[in-house]
Amino acid sequence: LDTVILTKKFPGELLWPSPPPPERWKKSEELAEVLGLLLEGKLTPVGDSVQKLPLDARLARAIIAAEAC
Q: Report, as an integer, the average pLDDT of 61-65.
A: 95
Is the pLDDT reported for residue 48 higher than 80? yes
Q: Please, which pLDDT band fits residue 60 given cuts at 50, 70 and 90?
A: very high
Rounded to two decimals, what is the model's pTM? Answer: 0.75
Half-sphere exposure of 25 (CA within 13 A, CB side): 13
Q: According to the model, what pLDDT value does residue 10 have?
A: 62
Is the Cα torsion angle 16, 46, 44, 48 positive or negative in sign?
Answer: negative
